[in-house]
A and B are shown apart, each in its own frame.
Chain A
Amino acid sequence: MTTITKKKSVEKEMDEESYLHTVWRRFCYHKPGLISLWIVLALVIIAVFAPLIAPYDPNAINPEFAASPSLQHLLGTDTIGRDMFSRLLYGLRVSLFVGALATLLSTALGTVLGLIAGYFGGIADMIIMRITDMVMSFPYILLILVASVIFSPGMWNIILILGFVDWPGVARLVRGSVMEIRDADYVQAARIEGMPGHYILFSEILPNTMAPILVFATSVMAISILDEAALSFLGMGVQPPQASLGNLLNGAESISVLTGMPWLWVSPGVLIIILVICTNFIGDALRDAVDPSTTR
């Protein structure tokens, strides 16, 4: 008996190993996705070690203000003399942090609600889906704006707000795939074996919806980064002196910065684009990689 179970678990392990292996192999086939993955990893490492890399304190004021890029200040200094390169590094750190945490929060929330709605159906499904409709038919930025001004803008509030606004897409996705899987033979088998509901939900159904959730999460991440930037640009997000990629761009609303000091707004803008485009490419590669109909 024990040998059989052992064999089973070994087999299972091998299967899982090979599945991940296949996914990785297919992922590598998508060149832009692979390159993007390395870029994002590099950016994450830079962001994590920002305090070590940054040549100056991001909030320290240097004697030369509004200086153009030089060897002392790689990206110049801003209008009150803070080193732009250091601020960019810290801004990247904040933006990545906000994006990752908001994505985690909304994906977790959406997954749980989607599982409940899809598995139990009936009244729970009705209520959850109507709430989903409400959040979805809301002009997104408006809701975020109203919420962020009311809960006083700041990094943690932005994370919470983005997290609580982004979940409906995930919830719909999970609900859809749960309803598909719910009646599959292996779930029926587990039910007949008398497994408790939470076991079926989390050990049988959830693992099989992981792939689409992961793909979807990458697009949520891209949107979260963009939204944080937009909010901070409007002055409703991360508050100065703390830097984020969005509020670094806020200064460019003044015409003298826009025309005379491009080093202050081009680099954060380009960094946001790189970050978002790489995240989107990773999502695309991942979608191809986990798609069972791909024949590679």
Chain B
Amino acid sequence: MAKYIVKRLLIALIVLFGITVIDFGIMSLAGNPMEIIGAGPKVNQAALAQKSANLGLNDPVPVQYVRWLIQTLHGNLGTSYKSYQPVSSMILSHLGPTLILMTSALVLAAIIAVSAGIFSALHQHSKADYLIVTLAFLGQSIPQFFLGLVLIFIFAVKLKILPSSGMRLLGSDGSGVQFRYLILPCIVLAVEMAGRDIRYIRSSMLEILNKDYLRTAKSKGIGRRLVIYRHALRNALIPIITAIGMEIPALFGGSIVVEQVFSWPGLGLMTMNAVLQRDYPVIMGVCLMTAVVVLLTNLVTDILYALADPTVRLE
């Protein structure tokens, strides 16, 4: 097991290195960011050139990359071109709201998907099954931003019961987030995930229900309830873990769109602004962080997978 984890970690490191190279490569293709940041009639071109030189933007791209890499390995992600704040503190200050949003959406989606998916599989070809599958299809097919707009229109504009955007902290010490502000963005983020996972969990559950060992269990006459709880659900754990693990990259992507629609002050909104302003150190920092999180979740998923399924052999 330990050997397997070490091997996977090494591969993850190689992949991570590759991701940073690709990122840096893409951004270097765009040319000197100072030309965009400093575009305007009143900008002193000499000062701009001086600034580019100070930031080392005139060096060859590989040199810039190695400098970035060394700096990053020392735990320094650089400073923003725009706000002059350290990137790491910018990420940290925006991470909280995004984590709250992502976690609540993931939990909501998991609850919906697991219960609806299993229910649907146990009642295959019933009216409820068709309804659930159709709703899952619909959830998967609605663009998140459109669902966000519709919900804002209904709950904030027409019914006036929920706020349309922003985030308020609870209490003066800012210890929690007001639940009202979380509801709509959380639903929007959860719907697509739930739709996808319902179908995945349903079909895996159907597969399990047709397996020989379930027929054996049934023919032992231990009763439908025991068959499902003791045999089917336990085996369904594996697809459930896989489904939820696979959602992490989608969550990061989804949060960018959702935060934009609801002006949720998290990483997504910050990233979007950095992208618009070509604030490269910030973009690099966010890409690095998300890549690390995604790779770690992949690793954890694989380990959980191995723990849940004794037949998975690790080499």
Contacts and interface: CB of A to CB of B under 8 A. Distances in A.
Interface of B: 11, 14-15, 18-19, 22-23, 26-27, 29-30, 137-138, 140-146, 149-150, 152-153, 157, 249-250, 252-254, 256-257, 260-261, 271-272, 275-276, 278, 283, 286-287, 290-291, 294-295, 298
Interface stretch (A1-9, A78-86, A101-109, A265-273): A265-273
A210 interface: no
A198 B116 CA distance: 47
A150 interface: yes
Contacts, number: 124
A258 interface: yes
A280 interface: yes
B257 A230 contact: yes
A273 B135 CA distance: 12
Going nearest first, the 8 A-B pairs with the smallest beta carbon separation are: A141-B253, A139-B252, A276-B141, A150-B30, A277-B141, A269-B146, A137-B294, A134-B18
Contact of B272 (A145, A262, A269): A145
Interface in A111-163: 130-131, 133-134, 136-142, 145-147, 149-151
A142 B140 contact: no
A281 interface: yes
A152 to B, nearest CB: 9
Given A134-B15, A150-B30, 9 more contacts: A131-B18, A134-B22, A137-B291, A141-B254, A146-B23, A149-B278, A252-B149, A269-B146, A277-B141
A142 B146 contact: no
Contacts of A136: 249
Interface string A231-247: 00110100000000010
A138 B18 CA distance: 11
24 contacts: A130-B14, A134-B22, A137-B249, A137-B295, A140-B253, A141-B256, A141-B257, A142-B290, A145-B256, A146-B275, A147-B26, A150-B27, A150-B29, A222-B141, A233-B145, A234-B272, A249-B145, A249-B146, A259-B157, A265-B146, A265-B149, A269-B149, A273-B146, A280-B140
Contact of A130 (B15, B143, B250, B290): B15
**B contacts with A: majority SS:** helix
A144 B260 CA distance: 16
Interface string A259-296: 10010010001001100110011000000000000000
Contact of B19 (A134, A277, A281): A134
A258 B18 contact: no
A78 to B, nearest CB: 16
A100 interface: no
A138 B21 CA distance: 13
Contacts of B256: 139, 141-142, 145
A281 B276 contact: no
Given A139-B294, A140-B253, A258-B157, A149 B275 contact: yes
Contacts of A140: 249-250, 253
Contact of B294 (A138, A249, A281): A138
Contact of A234 (B18, B254, B257, B291): B257
Q: What is the interface of chain A mostly: helix, strand, loop, or mixed?
A: helix
A138 B11 CA distance: 15
A224 B121 CA distance: 29
A181 interface: no
Interface of A: 130-131, 133-134, 136-142, 145-147, 149-151, 222, 226, 229-230, 233-234, 236, 246, 249, 252-253, 258-259, 262, 265, 269, 272-273, 276-277, 280-281
Given A142-B287, A145-B272, A146-B27, A269 B150 contact: yes
Contact of B249 (A138, A246, A259, A277): A138
Contacts of A236: 275
Contacts of A142: 252-253, 256, 271, 286-287, 290
A226 B256 CA distance: 14
Nearest to B29: A150
A230 B250 CA distance: 13
Nearest to A278: B141
Contact of A137 (B140, B150, B253, B298): B298
B140 A272 contact: no
A280 B137 contact: yes
B149 A130 contact: no
Contact of B146 (A145, A151, A272): A272
A169 B206 CA distance: 24
B283 to A, nearest CB: 6
B18 A130 contact: yes
Contact of A262 (B153, B252, B278): B153
Contacts of A273: 138, 141-143, 146
A287 to B, nearest CB: 10
Contact of A139 (B146, B157, B249): B249
A214 B110 CA distance: 30
A138 B19 contact: yes
Nearest to B294: A137
A242 to B, nearest CB: 19
A129 to B, nearest CB: 10
Contacts of A259: 153, 157
B260 A234 contact: yes
A139 B290 contact: yes
A265 B145 CA distance: 11
A27 to B, nearest CB: 17
B26 A137 contact: no
A289 B296 CA distance: 38
A272 B286 CA distance: 30
A273 B254 CA distance: 17
